[in-house]
Amino acid sequence: MKVLVLGGDGFCGWPASLHLSARGDEVVIVDNFSRRRIDEELGVQSLTPIRSMVERRAAWREVSGRDITVVELDIAQDYHGLLELLATERPDAIIHFAEQRAAPYSMKSARHKRYTIDNNVNATHNVLCAIVDSGQDIHLVHLGTMGVYGYGTAGMAIPEGYLDIQVPTDGGVVETEILYPTNPGSIYHMTKVLDQTLFAYYAKNDELRITDLHQGIIWGTNTRETSLDERLINRFDYDGDYGTVLNRFLMQSAVGYPLTVHGTGGQTRAFIHIQDMVRCVEIALDNPPTAGDRVKIFNQMTETHRVRDLAQLVAKITGACVEMVPDPRKEAFENDLVVRNDNFLALGLNPITLSEGLLREINETAGRYADRADHSRIPATSLWTRNQQAGIPASIAGTK
Amino acid sequence: MKVLVLGGDGFCGWPASLHLSARGDEVVIVDNFSRRRIDEELGVQSLTPIRSMVERRAAWREVSGRDITVVELDIAQDYHGLLELLATERPDAIIHFAEQRAAPYSMKSARHKRYTIDNNVNATHNVLCAIVDSGQDIHLVHLGTMGVYGYGTAGMAIPEGYLDIQVPTDGGVVETEILYPTNPGSIYHMTKVLDQTLFAYYAKNDELRITDLHQGIIWGTNTRETSLDERLINRFDYDGDYGTVLNRFLMQSAVGYPLTVHGTGGQTRAFIHIQDMVRCVEIALDNPPTAGDRVKIFNQMTETHRVRDLAQLVAKITGACVEMVPDPRKEAFENDLVVRNDNFLALGLNPITLSEGLLREINETAGRYADRADHSRIPATSLWTRNQQAGIPASIAGTK
């Protein structure tokens, strides 16, 4: 299968590209390298030392004997470049990771909000429009987020995208199926809601074949393939903008920083290990919808946990201390979350659980590169409104 | 009240601006004049001879003794200009008409799809972001569309934005209220769905005060104010891209062209006269939500009609002939539509009905300027997919 991986230089895109290349797919990475430029903008680097794309490719060729094509292209800006690429490559599938993916970054300032909206919406729409324009039958797999459902307490298990509802009317009860009502918690999450709307339309009007993966929070860093050579190492973000909660706890414990729990830590979230993410992408690729089908939606997550419980778990394993800090986000302090993920389980996903993987992550990644951390970049400081406060531990603020 | 009218040079924006100025509001029109540029692009002009903004302003000053400020600004592109304008003007309210508003134009080509998405989403998001950024408490009134609800047969009366639903779960029935599920029928309509998502988020996160008007298809051309002087005349679009269905029938009858009914004409749509539109905008301005409220949604329509019935009605009044033509849109050929509009009625709207206004429209506008029409631009030729066909009457195609 020939697969374009849009955003193939990123945290999810790179391990997914290698995973597909390893199983024999012909992989073309398309990236504008924006994530590396944002490292420069924020003045903080991946905890793991990631290599240039030139080195990554060369290392992969050496290790696997396989080649990956790399095309530098901004799909949100260069529509004609994208259309030409489809004409040249004629891919069977496109995996679309090419969006700004950090909620805190999307809330930093008006500029960051506007960039995230403009970049993500135009990127997704350009891909859809170009597939129609090309006249090709290309399966589009998109990385969405569990966050489109929102993090209130639903009072039910979150279904995979679609919800059966009943509407009482004067003429009796109307039964129908709808896209699960959205309730995004940041500008970033909202762009994935906008994406979902675009997908529903293009599946209906143009009969595009689209799979949308509503992904939980990734934990872990490396996969089978990125572990084969240090030059293939994946990025590990620990800063307040791009670091995801569990990876941040692992890193904080490794460097002797308090595990910073926002608010009461009563937020319940869905999680998935990065190795399972690449497996899910593979399963999605191999099980496309048929032209004319509605968008196929999978919940790409394997476990749910309350944030304060995760902090306690990491503290117990490592002896780190937990510190409650102000919540820089405007969100429900406490919520329940039950999620259906039957589709991937039925198609053969065999999840890696927190209990088996946590310690290895701490030893192999967070601990190993701890000396590369800039402690001043650990707190989450992007505020959702002027009424929120940065998540700086009192114990650290007090030492300044 | 000081009101910014974004898109105040357009078909709805201009009469709304005059209406508010006439009642004593301080009106600032903000426009990039894109609609006039699209006239140039399409090579077709308004049936009515519209004047330059300079002449329009001067005529209004002469007729009413009131002044309207005009600012040329592209709100989708020039965020800092917009922010500066808010700082200078400190408006009480913003009325946002500044979007590409024609479904057929939005479907003409990849370029038109991409322009509509990029322009409309960034325009709306920039307005929201700038209100937050300004720190001002500004009521935003937005012109949406009935088309966000979709034109399938709902099996119920369409409520004003929100729907009470029941979800059967293992633990019993969960009752909740949701935004009415969307089902847009074109890229243009989809942008209004995206807008709705943006509004819900900014009302929640930033407690912005937002009113969204889900407007039916406008018919009629002039209002009390635009009728005061010919130099104030409003635009009347009759071409296949920008002409709305009833105005097109009126104009077709006036020039002796068949009334072109797409498909079976079984499409049922909601309508509102342009005079009622400006009154609704006024009512919405005077009844803002409170900070912290959900988005206030009104259905801004007064009647529903099946397209073929409208054609018959116009034919009966004028003696025109009706001709069925291929439907260039991908849509349900037949649908029912029942719509609640209790909110505006309760607040004093006294609708102008088709039965009282139709004949006047034909005599005063369509008939009067009939000699300005370019007949070749009447058929709708923008196709929703490659499988659709242009709406060209066989009787006309046969004469070529």
Q: Please state, in angstroms and rounded to a whole number, the distance separating the CA atoms of residues B317 and A90.
A: 56
**What mean pLDDT is predicted for residues A351-369?**
86
Asked if residues A113 and A186 have their Cβ atoms less than 8 Å apart, the reply is no
Q: Among this protein's residues, is A400 annotated catalytic? A: no
Q: Please state, in angstroms and rounded to a whole number, the distance separating the CA atoms of residues B248 and B242.
A: 10
Look at residue B399 in the predicted model and tell me its pLDDT.
62
Q: What percent of chain B has pLDDT over 70?
A: 99
Look at residue A399 in the predicted model and tell me its pLDDT.
62
Q: H or E element: which one contains A215?
A: strand A210-215
Asked if residues A234 and A223 have their Cβ atoms less than 8 Å apart, the reply is yes
**What mean pLDDT is predicted for residues A58-68?**
98
Whether A398 has a pLDDT exceeding 80, the answer reads no
Please give the DSSP secondary-structure letter assigned to residue B219: E
Kindly determine whether residue B205 and residue A330, on different chains, have CB atoms separated by under 8 Å: yes
Catalytic position from the list A105, A151, A180, A188: A188
B128-148 per-position pLDDT tens digit: 999 999 999 999 999 999 999
Residues of chain B contacting A166 with CB distance shorter than 8 Å = 165-168, 173
* Model confidence band, residue B151 (pLDDT cutoffs 50, 70, 90): confident
**What mean pLDDT is predicted for residues B58-75?**
98
Average pLDDT, chain B: 96
A87-116 per-position pLDDT tens digit: 999 999 999 999 999 999 999 999 999 999
Look at residue A14 in the predicted model and tell me its pLDDT.
98
Kindly determine whether residue B385 and residue A205, on different chains, have CB atoms separated by under 8 Å: yes
**What mean pLDDT is predicted for residues A26-43?**
97
**What mean pLDDT is predicted for residues B17-29?**
98
**What mean pLDDT is predicted for residues B107-129?**
98
Look at residue B363 in the predicted model and tell me its pLDDT.
79
Kindly determine whether residue A79 and residue B110, on different chains, have CB atoms separated by under 8 Å: yes
Structure tokens at B97: 């008409």
Structure tokens at A19: 């995973």
Query: Which amino acid does the sequence have at B281?
Result: V
Q: Given phi > 0 = left and psi -120 to 50 = alpha, else beta, which region is B12?
A: alpha
Look at residue A358 in the predicted model and tell me its pLDDT.
84
Q: Given phi > 0 = left and psi -120 to 50 = alpha, else beta, which region is B263?
A: left
Q: Among this protein's residues, is B192 annotated catalytic? A: yes
Catalytic position from the list A145, A211, A223, A302: A145
A149-173 per-position pLDDT tens digit: 998 888 899 999 999 999 999 889 9
Q: Please state, in angstroms and rounded to a whole number, the distance separating the CA atoms of residues A214 and A277.
A: 11
Kindly determine whether residue B194 and residue A121, on different chains, have CB atoms separated by under 8 Å: yes
* Model confidence band, residue A83 (pLDDT cutoffs 50, 70, 90): very high
Kindly determine whether residue A190 and residue B169, on different chains, have CB atoms separated by under 8 Å: no
Shortest Cα–Cα distance, B97 to chain A (Å): 20
Residues of chain B contacting A157 with CB distance shorter than 8 Å = 169-170
Whether A299 has a pLDDT exceeding 90, the answer reads yes
φ/ψ of A69, rounded to 5, equals -80, 145
Q: Please state, in angstroms and rounded to a whole number, the distance separating the CA atoms of residues B130 and A220.
A: 38
B240-289 per-position pLDDT tens digit: 999 999 999 999 999 999 999 999 999 999 999 999 999 999 999 999 99
Residue of B83, B116, B153, B190 to mutate, interface with A, max A Cβ within 10 Å: B190
Angle between helices A53-64 and A13-22 (to 10 degrees): 20
Nearest CA in chain B to A159: B169
A234-265 per-position pLDDT tens digit: 999 999 999 999 999 999 999 999 999 999 99
**What mean pLDDT is predicted for residues B381-395?**
96
Q: Please state, in angstroms and rounded to a whole number, the distance separating the CA atoms of residues A33 and A37.
A: 7
Residues of chain B contacting A198 with CB distance shorter than 8 Å = 190
Nearest CA in chain A to B181: A178
C-alpha torsion B118→B124→B126→B129, nearest 10 = -140
Comparing CB atoms, the residue among B184, B201, B330 nearest residue A190 is: B201
Q: Among this protein's residues, is B257 annotated catalytic? A: no
> What residues pair up with A169 in beta bridges, in sequence order?
A172
Whether A400 has a pLDDT exceeding 80, the answer reads no
**What mean pLDDT is predicted for residues A185-204?**
98
Residues of chain A contacting B84 with CB distance shorter than 8 Å = none
Q: What percent of chain B has pLDDT over 90?
A: 94
Nearest CA in chain B to A330: B205
Q: How many helices (H) and strands (E) does chain A have?
A: 13, 14
Residues of chain A contacting B155 with CB distance shorter than 8 Å = 169, 171, 174, 176
Whether A188 has a pLDDT exceeding 90, the answer reads yes
B300-351 per-position pLDDT tens digit: 999 999 999 999 999 999 999 999 999 999 999 999 999 999 999 999 999 9
Q: Please state, in angstroms and rounded to a whole number, the distance separating the CA atoms of residues A269 and A281.
A: 21
Neighbour-count burial of B110, counting CB atoms closer than 10 A to its CB (0-12 exposed, 13-18 middle, 19+ buried): middle
Question: What Cα–Cα distance (Å) separates residue A185 from each residue in A192, B75, B247, B380?
Answer: 11, 25, 43, 41
Kindly determine whether residue A167 and residue B169, on different chains, have CB atoms separated by under 8 Å: no
Q: Please state, in angstroms and rounded to a whole number, the distance separating the CA atoms of residues A365 and B357.
A: 74
Taking residue A155's Cβ as centre, other Cβ atoms within 10 Å add up to 15
Nearest CA in chain B to A112: B129
Please give the DSSP secondary-structure letter assigned to residue A333: S
Residue A142, SS3 per DSSP? strand
Whether B360 has a pLDDT exceeding 90, the answer reads no
- Counting one residue from A and one from B, how many pairs have CB atoms under 8 Å apart? 122
Is this model's pTM higher than 0.90 or not? Answer: yes
